[in-house]
C-alpha cells in the first residue's frame, strides 16, 4: 500500500531525513548531511522557511517503508514583491517507481492549488537560501560540493512525465588554482585597482555587523530588478546569513571591494568544500565525528563560490577579477585544487561571462522545472 502524508511525528521526520541514506547507499558522489543540522534546516531553524509562508514536509511510504519525500511551500514575501502566484518544491527524493513519484507530486500540487498558487517551480532552495537547487542533468561523476544538489538521473524523467517543463538551467564552472592563472593576473589587477581606485580586502570577521550592512547595500544596488526568482534580502535574512557564515567563513576566501571613499562596491561569499569532511562523518558528529571533522578540515582542497555581486557603476572595471585574484592567491598558497562557481542562473549573463574569464564551459548543469496549475 502506498501512503503519502505530512511528516509530522518524530518517526516521520526521521524517515524524511534518512531516506537519502538508503537511496544513495554505495553512491560515492552523494554526501550525507549532518543529521542534526539537517533536522534544524527542514524545521525552519536558522533559515527563512517559516517566515516566508505556508509549507509542508511530505513523506511517502510503500508497504510501510519510506520511499519518497519532498518539501512544498509558498514564498509569500517573494510573491508579493514580484506580483507572482508561485509555489515551490524542494528536497525531492524518490525511488524509481512512477506511482510513488506521481502521488508525491500530486500531493504537492493539491497543497498549492488549495492556496491559490498558479505555478509550481522546483526543485528550489528553501526561501532565502542558495543550496540544493535544481536537478543535475549531465555530470553525475564529479564530486558534489558543499550545499549543492546530487540526485538520481531518473528524477528528471519523473518531473517531465508528471507534466513539468524546463524553467531555467543553473550552471557550475570550475577554475583551477594554478600559478599560471595567478601570474596571468599579476599585472592586470594592480593596474585595474589603480585606474579605477578601488581596493579588495578580506571580510572583517570581528566587525561582522558593519560588514553585513555593507553586503546588503551592495546587493540592493547590484541585484537586477528583472530577476524573477530573487528579491533583496530582508534584515532577518541578513542576520541569518551572518549567523550561518561566521562558523564556516574563511577570511582567505570572502572579500569586500571598496572604492576610494571606502564605500562598498562588491563582495563574494565562498566556503571551503566541507563536503570533503562530511563525507567521512556519515551524518554524525558524535562520538568520534568531531575529531574526524577537525582532522579532515585541514585537508580540504576545494572551494565553492556561492555569490559574487558588483554594483553597476563598477562592472567591467576589473572588480570581479580582483576579488577572484585574491582568493586565487590564497588557494595556491594553501594547495587548493580548484574553485567551483555555482549555481549561476542562465539569465545571469554578466556572471556567466565573468566565469568564462577563469573557466571553460560549465561542467555541470542543474535544471529547474515548472508546471502551470
Report if residue 289 sits inside a domain: yes
Q: Please give the pLDDT value at position 291.
A: 78
Integer Cα distance of 142 and 164 in angstroms: 27
Identify the CATH number of the domain in which residue 354 sits.
Answer: 3.40.630.30
347 shares its domain with 200: yes
Domain boundary pick from 108, 136, 171 = 171
Lowest-confidence segment of 6-20, 34-48, 76-90 by average pLDDT: 34-48
Query: 60 near 67, Cβ under 8 Å?
Result: yes
Report if residue 234 sits inside a domain: yes
Nearest to 202 by CA among 294, 270, 260, 275: 270
Cell numbers placing 289: 565525528
45 shares its domain with 32: yes
pLDDT tens profile 259-285:
999 999 999 989 999 999 999 888 887
Integer Cα distance of 191 and 194 in angstroms: 5
43 shares its domain with 60: yes
Which residues have C-beta within 8 Å of that of residue 11, sequence separation ≥ 6? none
The answer to whether the pTM exceeds 0.85 is yes
Average pLDDT value for residue range 289-307: 85
pLDDT band at 108; cut points 50, 70, 90: very high
pLDDT tens profile 323-335:
999 998 999 999 9
Q: What are phi and psi of 198, to 5 degrees?
A: -140, 160
209 shares its domain with 134: no
Domain boundary pick from 146, 171, 196 = 171
Integer Cα distance of 290 and 13 in angstroms: 24
Task: Decide if pLDDT at 183 tops 90.
Answer: no
83 shares its domain with 196: no
Integer Cα distance of 219 and 280 in angstroms: 36
CA distances from 143 to 29, 129, 216 (A): 5, 21, 31
Residue 225's domain comprises: 175-364
pLDDT tens profile 15-69:
999 999 999 998 989 999 999 999 999 998 878 788 889 999 999 999 999 999 9
SS (H, E, C) the chain: CEEEEECCCHHHHHHHHHHHHHHCCCCCCCCCCCHHHHHHHHCCCCCCHHHHCCEEEEEEEECCEEEEEEEEECCHHHHHHHCCCEEEEEEEEECCCHHHHHHHHHHHHHHHHCCCCCEEEECCCCCCCCCCCCEECCCCCCCCCCCCCCCCCHHHHHHHHHCCEEEEEEEEEEEECCHHHHHHHCCHHHHHHHHHCEEEEECCHHHHHHHHHHHHHHHHHHCCCCCCCCCCCCHHHHHHHHHHHHHHCCCCCCEEEEECCCCEEEEEEEEECCHHHHCCCCCCCCCCHHHHHHHHHCCCCEEEEEEEEECHHHCCCCHHHHHHHHHHHHHHHCCCCEEEEEEEECCCHHHHHHHHCCCCCCCEEEEEEEEEC
Pick from 25-29, 165-169, 230-234, 308-312 the range whose average pLDDT is largest. Answer: 165-169
Q: Count structural domains, the chain.
A: 2
Integer Cα distance of 255 and 308 in angstroms: 10
Domain boundary pick from 136, 171, 206 = 171
First to last CA, the chain: 28
199 shares its domain with 143: no
Q: What does the longest C-alpha to C-alpha distance in the chain come to?
A: 69
Nearest to 44 by CA among 29, 34, 57: 57
Report if residue 108 sits inside a domain: yes
pLDDT tens profile 281-295:
888 876 666 778 788
254 shares its domain with 273: yes
Amino acid at each position: 500500500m502506498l501512503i503519502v502524508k505530512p511528516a509530522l511525528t518524530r518517526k516521520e521526520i526521521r524517515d524524511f531525513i534518512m531516506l537519502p541514506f538508503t537511496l544513495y547507499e554505495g553512491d560515492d558522489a552523494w554526501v550525507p548531511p549532518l543529521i542534526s543540522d539537517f533536522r534544524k534546516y527542514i524545521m525552519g531553524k536558522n533559515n527563512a522557511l517559516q517566515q516566508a509562508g505556508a509549507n509542508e514536509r511530505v513523506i511517502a511510504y510503500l508497504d510501510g517503508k519510506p520511499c519518497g519525500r519532498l518539501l512544498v511551500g509558498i514564498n509569500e514575501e517573494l510573491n508579493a514583491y514580484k506580483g507572482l502566484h508561485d509555489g515551490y518544491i524542494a528536497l525531492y527524493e524518490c525511488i524509481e517507481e512512477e506511482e510513488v513519484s506521481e502521488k508525491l507530486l500530486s500531493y504537492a500540487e493539491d497543497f498549492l492549488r488549495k492556496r491559490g498558487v498558479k505555478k509550481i517551480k522546483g526543485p528550489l532552495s528553501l526561501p532565502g537560501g542558495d543550496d540544493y537547487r535544481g536537478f543535475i542533468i549531465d555530470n553525475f561523476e564529479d564530486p558534489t560540493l558543499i550545499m549543492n544538489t546530487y540526485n538520481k538521473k531518473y528524477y528528471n524523467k519523473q518531473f517531465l512525465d508528471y507534466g513539468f517543463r524546463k524553467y531555467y538551467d543553473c550552471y557550475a564552472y570550475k577554475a583551477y588554482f594554478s600559478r599560471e592563472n595567478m601570474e596571468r593576473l599579476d599585472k592586470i589587477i594592480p593596474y585595474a585597482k589603480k585606474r579605477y581606485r578601488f581596493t579588495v580586502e578580506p571580510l572583517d570577521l570581528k566587525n561582522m555587523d558593519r560588514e553585513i550592512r555593507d553586503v546588503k547595500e551592495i546587493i540592493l544596488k547590484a541585484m537586477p530588478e528583472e530577476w524573477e526568482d530573487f528579491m533583496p534580502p530582508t534584515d532577518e535574512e541578513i542576520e541569518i546569513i551572518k549567523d550561518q557564515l561566521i562558523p564556516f567563513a574563511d577570511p582567505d576566501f570572502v572579500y569586500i571591494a571598496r572604492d576610494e571613499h571606502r564605500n562598498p562596491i562588491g563582495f563574494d561569499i565562498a566556503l571551503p568544500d566541507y563536503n570533503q569532511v562530511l563525507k567521512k562523518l556519515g551524518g554524525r558528529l558524535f562520538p568520534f565525528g568531531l575529531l574526524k571533522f577537525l582532522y579532515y578540515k585541514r585537508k580540504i582542497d576545494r572551494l565553492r563560490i556561492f555569490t559574487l555581486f558588483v554594483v553597476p557603476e563598477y562592472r567591467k572595471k576589473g572588480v570581479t577579477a580582483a576579488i577572484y585574484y585574491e582568493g586565487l592567491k590564497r588557494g595556491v598558497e594553501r594547495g587548493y585544487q580548484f574553485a567551483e562557481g555555482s549555481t549561476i542562473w542562465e539569465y545571469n549573463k554578466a556572471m556567466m561571462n565573468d566565469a568564462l574569464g577563469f573557466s571553460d564551459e560549465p561542467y555541470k548543469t542543474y535544471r529547474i522545472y515548472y508546471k502551470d496549475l
